[in-house]
Structure formats: C-alpha cells, structure tokens
C-alpha cells in the first residue's frame, strides 16, 4: 500500500516564523522536516514532546536565599558600592580565591 500525504496550512505570527525558521535552517533542516519529526514523535510516543513547566521563571531555592541575603545586607547597610569596574572585578577575584 502506497503512503498517502496531505497538505496542512498553518497560520503563525510572522516574527515567530522568521525566528524559528532561522534556527531550523541553522541546523541544516527544513521546516517541513522538523514538523514531520515533531508529528512523528507525537504519534509514536502518544505525548507532546514539549515542556509546559512554567516555573522556570521562578528562582530556585539557592537563588531565593541569595536574594534574601542581599535584601538583608542592604537593610543593614552591609553592601559595598563601586564606581570603578576594575576595583569591583579585583574584589570579586580576591573573594573567589
């Protein structure tokens, strides 16, 4: 039995299309190849191969703790300001040694 194909039209935002197609082309692929691979994965795995985890915008616990410490240091006046980038870099290098 011969495989049959079908056409499908898709309306998307022009800017999103341009940005996405650029990435696809950088991989040496065509949009058609990518869409076929995407649909094949959905058909084979019976899931959408996407992450809908929107918690990525929320800082992790280590970052939250650093933010709490920074707020506390600011409130206690324990922050050092810099007007010279070189001095700041020097302090960071000394702190990390």
pLDDT tens per residue, range 13-49:
999 999 999 999 999 999 999 999 999 999 999 988 8
Phi first, then psi, for residue 19 (nearest 5°) are -65, -45
Looking at the structure, do residues 67 and 91 belong to the same domain, yes or no?
yes
Say yes or no: 45 and 64 in one domain.
no
Q: Is 43 found in the same domain as 65?
A: no
**Residue 66 within a domain:** yes
Mean pLDDT, the chain, integer? 88
Reduced DSSP (H G I as helix, E B as strand, rest coil) percent helix, strand, coil of the chain, to 5: 60, 0, 40
* Whether 37 and 64 share a structural domain: no
Confidence of residue 56 (pLDDT cuts 50, 70, 90): low
Q: Is residue 54 part of a domain?
A: no
Enclosing domain of residue 72: 60-96
Q: Structurally, how many domains does the chain consist of?
A: 2
64 belongs to a structural domain:
yes
Is residue 9 included in any domain, yes or no?
no
Residue 10 has pLDDT above 70, yes or no: yes
If pLDDT is split at 50, 70 and 90, which confidence band does 51 have? confident
- Per-residue pLDDT band for 2 (boundaries 50, 70, 90) equals low
**Domain shared by 64 and 92, yes or no:** yes
């Amino acid at each position: 039995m011969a495989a049959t194909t079908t056409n499908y039209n898709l309306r998307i935002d022009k800017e999103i299309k341009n940005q996405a197609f650029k990435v696809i082309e950088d991989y040496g692929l065509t949009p058609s190849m990518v869409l076929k691979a995407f649909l094949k994965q959905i058909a084979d795995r019976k899931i959408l191969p996407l992450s809908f985890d929107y918690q990525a915008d929320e800082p992790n616990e280590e970052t939250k703790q650093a933010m709490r410490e920074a707020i506390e240091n600011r409130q206690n006046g324990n922050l050092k300001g810099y007007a010279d980038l070189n001095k700041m870099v020097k302090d960071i290098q000394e702190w990390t040694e």
